[in-house]
Amino acid sequence: MDGSLGAGGYAEAILEVSSPDGRLLGFDLDEESISRTQARLQTYGERFRCWHAGYHQAVGILGSVGVDRVDGIVIDLGLSSDQLEDTNRGFSFRYSSPLDMRFDRTQGKSAEDLLIDLSETELERIIFEFGEEPKARKIAQRLKEAVKRGILTNTHELSNIVLKSVGRKRGKIHPATRVFQALRIAVNDELSNLRRGLEELPGLLNEHGRLCIVSYHSLEDRLVKTIFKDLARQVEKWKVVTRRPLRPSLEETRTNPRSRSAKMRVIEAL
């Protein structure tokens, strides 16, 4: 099972190495990713099947089609390059884009909706907790002021307000990075979905099946580490394969700079 199909890179690799009769079940909240991946993998026929849904919904969906066990699960929690480069999605401040940030654009509130609806206190909490931003109070105050004045409608405006609030750039990381992360997590309820997935998905694994999670920031990695550690206390049922998270090599980060913050943790069903 691939719980985050994205552009289909993992899925295609798994189908190749599991040839000739391995089957892959895929999930993604992004309807456009589903369409692209279906087109990319159509040559694999019935070996590939996918659903427009999140990995946290997989147990119920697979149960409804008679699948109660799989041999492996991979979930890459990062944004796809297609999502980052899409100027209509609002995931990057490199472009002037609408403040959307939804993985699933068929439902839910956008980032702009949240900025309008949330109180200053609630917005501060989200930026502090999900973005781990020390200047969350000042940023939240400036953002709410901009909303009231009607001057916060796109990603460039959001980025500029954050930059003015913080006062300067901090090293290589743009100050708006943490705020964009916080809003995206809140818009998509990412941590709650990850917790639900980590609680339910291990039960899908066959004996010696593995659950592999690739995370990109400390909040995700901490949650994966904690739940895997809790599972491993049941020593006859689970084993943590990665005592320390696997990191990309220097060569990989050179060819794929977006992988530099990736951490992979793996647990095995005994």
**What are the extents of the domains in the chain?**
9-82+190-269, 99-188
Q: Which CATH superfamily is domain 9-82+190-269 in?
A: Vaccinia Virus protein VP39 (3.40.50.150)
Strand, coil or helix: 51: strand
The helix (run of H) or strand (run of E) holding residue 123 is helix 120-131
Domains 9-82+190-269 and 99-188 share a fold: no
Q: Is the pTM of this model over 0.85?
A: yes
Helices (H) and strands (E) in the chain, counts: 12, 6
First to last CA, the chain: 18
Q: Residue 176's closest CA among 219, 151, 142, 216?
A: 142
99-188: CATH topology: DNA polymerase; domain 1 (1.10.150)
Per-residue pLDDT of the chain (270 residues; tens, 9 = 90+): 999 999 999 999 999 999 999 999 999 999 999 999 999 999 999 999 999 999 999 999 999 999 999 999 999 998 888 888 888 899 988 889 999 999 999 999 999 999 999 999 999 999 999 999 999 999 999 999 999 999 999 999 999 999 999 876 666 778 899 999 999 999 999 999 999 999 999 999 999 999 999 999 999 999 999 999 999 999 899 999 999 999 999 999 999 888 889 999 999 999
- The Cα 188–Cα 181 span in angstroms is 11
- The Cα 239–Cα 231 span in angstroms is 8
